[in-house]
Structure 1
Amino acid sequence: MRRVYVVTHPEATHHVENRVGGWFDSALTSRGRLHAGAVAARLREVIPRATRIGLYSSDLRRTVETAAPIASLFGVEPTLVRDLREKSYGVAGGRPQSWLDERFVPPPATGERLDHDEGIEDAETKLEWVTRVYRAVDRIRSAGEEHQVVVTHGGSLSWVVAAWLGLPVTACAYAAFRASAGGITVLHEDDRFRNRTLHTLNDTSHLIG
């Protein structure tokens, strides 16, 4: 059996300042740091104590800060994986959300959705974003730990789940799995059939305040 616990980072400064996140390197707020501790405590409750986990995190500050109390509680060093980052919004990163909203071009309802970049200079296309997150999941799965924790972002969580389930990249033109800040999503692979399932999506029952 293998279980992967996918954590979406808690509240960060770009949330409360209403700024575009993406690759903008925001930090956790004081509330976010409190919730990061709660995430670590919940993981300690559900992961067997005799188990050594693999801990993987996006390299942006808000995810590194989320991974820190997990690393401390489990006595492991996080492996930073750049491919787990949120979508890059190019020149919009760190700007007021209103700036992006005024310029944002939604993807078409039908047709080519994966090559769409929302009309923002230097932004990633959806295909670029999905492809690198799939690459990260391949790397993490190949590591082979029985229990793994992956710390990422709300948007990128969709592609972690899709990659785990073996969905083709083309399915990500429409597929989405929504999770809120500080949520824990649990993925499972059984020993006999090697079936991979989405066990729990966005558990937030551990969050306080």
Structure 2
Amino acid sequence: MSERIYVVTHPEATHHVDGLVGGWYDSALTPRGVIHARAIAARLRELIPTGSVPVLYTSDLARATETARPLSDVFDVEPVLLPDLREKSYGVAGGRPQAWLDTYFVPPPPAGERLDHDEGIEGAETKLEWVSRVYRAMDRITSDSEEHRIVVTHGGSLSWVVAAWQRLPISACAHVAYRAAPGSITVLEQDDVFHNRTLRTLGDLGHIL
């Protein structure tokens, strides 16, 4: 039997519609986001074989735990809260208008030091700090022997969940990125013959379109 991780990016949250910086700002799901969270749970019930009980991991931010709630109900499991699955911390920019961050943010250079680059925002994580803690979360998640796991996280942190699963060195994350919209499902798989770790599906939205 192959081993699978179903990575869920939380659906629409209040900071999306209000034009605010997310990060560690603890926004909640919108009513539309709640509907999409239920649709995600229904789709994963279809994807995960009947009789299999997945382990459910989630970021501890409200928009992620609210996404995990219908999954917990459908599979009758309690979520494991992992703060290391949070989105990047944007320091003092969290919860401020996105235009504020756009004004003061210093983008990383195309070459040279990118992981430890100072983005000019007080209290913000560097990319290295962000990636390292998501990798730490994935070490925790993959330390068991479960065949099916669900991981509820954020759009930015999804990149490092995927990179960690594929065992890319952290240094590769200076340039690598995977894009997935809010409310998406990404499927990671390790086959039981070659033990290759595959990105089977990236950012599927078929359940909410």
TM-score, normalised by the number of residues in structure 2: 0.98
Which residue of 2 is the match for residue 5 of structure 1? 6
Query: One-letter code of the match for 2:33?
Result: G
For 1:15, the equivalent position in structure 2 comes to 16
Q: Which moved more, 1:190-199 or 1:177-186?
A: 190-199
Q: Which runs of 5+ in 2 are unaligned?
A: none
What is the RMSD computed on CA atoms of the aligned residues? Answer: 0.6
Cα deviation 1:23-82 (Å, max 9, x = unaligned): 000000000000000000000011001101000000000000000000000000000000
- Percent pairwise identity: 69
User: 1:184-195 to 2 correspondence within 5 Å?
Assistant: 184-195=185-196
Shift of 1:117: 3.5
Letter paired with 2:61: L
Q: Distance in 2 between matches of 1:96 and 1:107?
A: 21
Match of 2:163 in 1: 162
Aligned residue for 1:147?
A: 148
Count of residue pairs brought into register by the alignment? 208
> For 1:79-129, what per-residue CA distance to the aligned partner results, in whole angstroms no more than 9, with x for missing partners?
000000000000000001011011010000100000013110000000000
Task: Please state whether the residue corresponding to 2:199 is helix, strand or coil.
Answer: strand
Give the CA deviation at 1:195.
1.0
- Whole-angstrom distance in 2 between the partners of 1:22 and 1:207: 24
Distance 1:83 1:43 in 2: 23
Equivalent in the alignment of 2:45 = 44
Equivalent residue of 2:157, what SS?
A: helix
Deviations along 1:125-145, whole A, 9 cap, x unmatched? Answer: 000000000010110001221
Could you tell me how far apart the structure 2 residues matched to 1:24 and 1:197 are?
32
What code does the residue aligned with 1:52 have? V
Provide Cα deviations, 1:146-196, integer angstroms capped at 9, x if missing partner.
000000000000000000001000000000000000000000001122110
C-alpha distance in 2 between matches for 1:117 and 1:37: 39
Alignment partners' CA distance in 2, 1:144 and 1:5? 15
Match of 2:127 in 1: 126
Q: Which sits farther off after the overlay, 139-148 or 14-23?
A: 139-148
Q: Deviating runs (4+, > 6 A) in structure 1?
A: none
Q: Distance in 1 between matches of 2:103 and 2:130?
A: 22
**SS at 1:143 equivalent:** coil
The residue correspondences of 1:1-209 to structure 2 (distance < 5 A) are 1-208=2-209
Structure 2 CA distance for aligned equivalents of residues 98 and 52 of structure 1: 43
